[in-house]
Structure 1
């Protein structure tokens, strides 16, 4: 037969069926690819508009200044990362805000850190010392029993830390009287012997020392500075604390203070992140703060003590964020590496989704309920059945062919089609070949009968 025979028709119909089956697959694949692209664009946009809240104690001047410096630094260096302050009444409530998830970052002191917080950077270390007004009999922690200690107003954590130190020395905290004072009130308190010592927790380079020593000197002459004895033992017992060496004359003033080198207790102020913060983000923040230290110090003098946390410190009381540890140990992938990994995984997921969609479409086409064969398919089946049919079967097939032709003509006549449809053309062509096949089969049967 020529190229317009039943074989050609079957090939044409097979191609049309294949096209219909795979049209759905192609559409699904396109939707998956477009969806992945939209997700990538949305993620990029969200990252460029990343906003992080940082919990800050409203009562701490040092924390407010540090937060302001960080906000200005990131606004100038990384405008796509926005940091907004969340002011809390004190450091304890700031830690609670981080635990609740109200903020992603917090400025916290080591002895009041959040349960769900992990260290990114140490911003500064405060020395813990006692300063006794001139003429006071108190010159060591052991002599504080029955004495009155002045506490700087607005520092709630200092009272807790004082209790901890007193308990270590076996001094009942309630045996030591407390008086809350501002720096401006220290002169009168020293002049009237209302305090035997002042408990101070501040950075060694803070401007607070000059004001404090000046006020005490005006009230009662030259003050005496004494350290927290057994600081190392206290730090071992309470890992959130540490020791610090304060050289002679570190505290600013006309008279060198302390008068000799001392080793005393210290607390650290830290930039803390939620443990759920992604490692890459925690690592980037850590890197920016450490490398941007000169600019941050220009904004806040107290940030001169910025340092990296010790990755070899296994104390779990103040854990380091895995992202910060990865950066500090040199294991943090670069942004280009992370982008390549993200592109690889997105491509892999798109490919897998397209393959699964194709397989699902193929299974659907294979197992979906089959529709009854149309007139064209029935004529092809008749043409294939002619070769093995007997005389009675040939008559039946011929009658069915005539009925199919009549049905096709009626259908297209009712539709008032002005152009010949593909079905009508195929039916007309197939009928010709079916009749030829029937005639050949009858001729073969006559020759067989004569033989």
Structure 2
């Protein structure tokens, strides 16, 4: 009776402990994460690489339990491939350079204008006028990608790539190439503000002694529908400086974007946390890299099929912190409740197993007591048989103890029963010996 009461208490304690452990593990999982996220570094020496380094440093300070592991890549194509191959959790990609098929947007690092720049009084009024001309492109790690972007835009106007010659030059030489008619226009891809377009405008203005012009792309919306890697952007007056300013009025152009993307299979809560971390650390990152000021949240209403915004980020941006914490709580329930249920079920099974062992051990004690009781009136032959049965039961108890298949709480009871049986057998032997005058042989 007392053994069964003790078992019930033990089962209740174990079940309660598992409930607490399940809830605690779920809370610790989200409030104190220790995760490692692999992120591509961007091309060496580019603004992307500088930003990644600054972001990793700032996030390490803000979230010491989340570690970012930089994964070097040779170029923008490799960055996308690393995402598709599952080698990274976050990749920095440019929308017009082999975007990963399984990527979804977390944040936009910056927008780069695809700027067609011509000298003052040029006869070229839009990109279609580049047919049969030479275009100067700033040399560097992205020169071939920018040339490919030119090919894509020309294809909209049904202009074959070989109809437009291109030369790759240092920015400082592009102005002279334009001035000496070695090139009719320049193509520079970069942000509004400091970047390649502004530097090319300055070089052309210096060499030609005139204010360069930025070609408008009036068909920008139609091009974007056909080629979703582009966006339409309005470049404000004076975006690329100059005197007079370039452009001299707002001009519609095409743009490409650098984006942080994650796999579409990433949990919503994780993608949301990454986005939140980027936006929360923006001010700290600006001190390390000015380009951070251009980071922006993606448009939650965008229906672009290319690198769509991740649902977890949509949820965070649409509902804010409170709803995001509600999502975390739901994940806690999803993990915590099953853990608690499995823990409670485990406690019940353990209890049943221990109850079975207890019944078996008590049955053995009962058999030993029966032997002790039978020994009181047994004859010499019967005493030998009872002693043999007792030795068999003792051997069985020892084997179960060695295997761990007996309830150790019953050992004192079993020991008392065995001692009682031995004494009963020894007493009966002495009584029989006294009656016959033979020497006494002790049990055991």
Task: Give the structure-1-normalised TM-score.
Answer: 0.73
2:86 alignment partner, one of 69, 76, 101: 101
Answering whether residue 432 of structure 2 is matched by residue 423 of structure 1, we say no
Count, aligned residues: 399
What's 1:355 paired with?
345
Preserved CA contact (<8 Å) 1:376 1:426: no
Shift of 1:36: 6.2
Shift of 1:150: 1.3
**Alpha-carbon distance in structure 2 between the residues aligned to 1:114 and 1:36:** 38
Answering whether residue 101 of structure 2 is matched by residue 115 of structure 1, we say yes
**Alpha-carbon distance in structure 1 between the residues aligned to 2:283 and 2:18:** 48
After superposition, residues 73-84 of structure 1 pair within 5 angstroms as 73-84=58-69
**What's the CA shift string for 1:69-123, capped at 9, x where partnerless?**
3123213333332334323222111111122222211111122321121101112
1:329 partner SS: helix
Shift of 1:23: 11
Cα distance 1:221–1:246, how it changes in 2: closer, same or farther (>3 A)?
Answer: same
**Alpha-carbon distance in structure 2 between the residues aligned to 1:255 and 1:372:** 103
What's 2:148 paired with?
160
**What's the CA shift string for 1:12-66, capped at 9, x where partnerless?**
xxx55x5898899799979978996997799579823x33222133256221232
What's 1:403 paired with?
382
**What's the CA shift string for 1:198-245, capped at 9, x where partnerless?**
112211122434422221123333223212230110011122321111
**Alpha-carbon distance in structure 1 between the residues aligned to 2:295 and 2:186:** 27
Answering whether residue 177 of structure 2 is matched by residue 192 of structure 1, we say no
1:54 alignment partner, one of 39, 50, 66: 39
**Alpha-carbon distance in structure 2 between the residues aligned to 1:402 and 1:31:** 55
Preserved CA contact (<8 Å) 2:189 2:196: no
What's 1:321 paired with?
310
What's 2:261 paired with?
272
| Residue ranges of structure 2 left out of the alignment (5+ in a row) | 395-413, 426-444
Shift of 1:140: 2.1
**Alpha-carbon distance in structure 2 between the residues aligned to 1:260 and 1:45:** 51
Task: Give the structure-2-normalised TM-score.
Answer: 0.74
What's 1:206 paired with?
194
**Alpha-carbon distance in structure 2 between the residues aligned to 1:401 and 1:380:** 17
**Alpha-carbon distance in structure 1 between the residues aligned to 2:415 and 2:89:** 68
2:111 alignment partner, one of 105, 121, 125: 125
Shift of 1:367: 11
What's 1:440 paired with?
none
What's 2:157 paired with?
169
**Alpha-carbon distance in structure 2 between the residues aligned to 1:410 and 1:316:** 82
Preserved CA contact (<8 Å) 1:379 1:430: no
Shift of 1:151: 1.6
1:239 alignment partner, one of 217, 220, 228: 228
Preserved CA contact (<8 Å) 1:183 1:215: yes
Preserved CA contact (<8 Å) 1:151 1:180: yes
CA RMSD of aligned residues (A): 4.4
1:131 partner SS: strand
Preserved CA contact (<8 Å) 1:130 1:225: yes
Shift of 1:288: 2.5
2:56 alignment partner, one of 38, 47, 71: 71
Preserved CA contact (<8 Å) 2:23 2:337: no
Cα distance 1:87–1:182, how it changes in 2: closer, same or farther (>3 A)?
Answer: farther
**Alpha-carbon distance in structure 1 between the residues aligned to 2:197 and 2:253:** 16
1:91 alignment partner, one of 57, 76, 83: 76
